[in-house]
Amino acid sequence: MVDAEKMMVFTAPSGSGKTTIVRHLLEKFEQLEFSISATTRSKRDHETDGKDYYFLTVEAFKEKIDQEAFVEWEEVYPGRFYGTLKSEVERIWNEGKFVLFDVDVLGAGSIKKMYGEKCMAVFVKPPSIEILAERLKARKTETPETLEIRKARFLKELQHESNFDVVLINDQLVDALADAETLVRNFFKLN
């Protein structure tokens, strides 16, 4: 069991390695549990409700917005909502675990604002925009147009860097993973 209700939120531009770091931490520390987001998008064949996402109708999602049931939420595209339910945070804390988030910059800011000192907000940053572009190209999922959009978004997200408790530069993944482990051990007081 954990002593306190705490959480850590990771955010980063796409291609910075945030998801890789979060997955590593979940494997390394059994005291951490990933916060499952709610969404209005359709469930894919390989996904399970309550494991991959909480799948809600647009009407049900809007009802929860009205009930102030979300820690943070965003309408990413018209009619496509994503958010973190307060009940998800409570579920994880009731299991005696710490909450681990992987969300966008605005969502991370909302979580930090709501939970204050109970939350450590970590901004994962590539060493340069050029390296970020190389990583995105290596994925082979980007067109030249989408690459430019992602680079512009990176520059916009970078403006929020100072709002975070820690900036974790992911130059060499092995070093970034070690640094993230140290953050977890120190913040949650784990051995």
Look up the CATH number of the domain holding residue 98. Answer: 3.40.50.300
pLDDT value of position 138: 78
Answer yes or no: is 1 within a domain: no
- Rounded to an integer, what distance in angstroms lies between the CA atom of residue 135 and that of residue 10? 19
Contact status, residue 95 vs residue 33, Cβ threshold 8 Å: yes
Number of structural domains (the chain) is 1
pTM, 2 dp: 0.85
The pLDDT score that the predictor gives to residue 104 is 86
pLDDT block averages, 10 residues each, the chain of length 191: 80 84 97 96 93 96 98 89 96 96 90 95 87 75 77 79 92 94 96 76
Query: How, if at all, do strands 119-125 and 7-11 pair?
Result: parallel
Assigned domain for 2 exists: no
Classify residue 61: in a domain, yes or no.
yes
Domain hosting 93: range is 7-188
Let me know if residue 33 belongs to a domain: yes
Residue 109 lies in a domain: yes
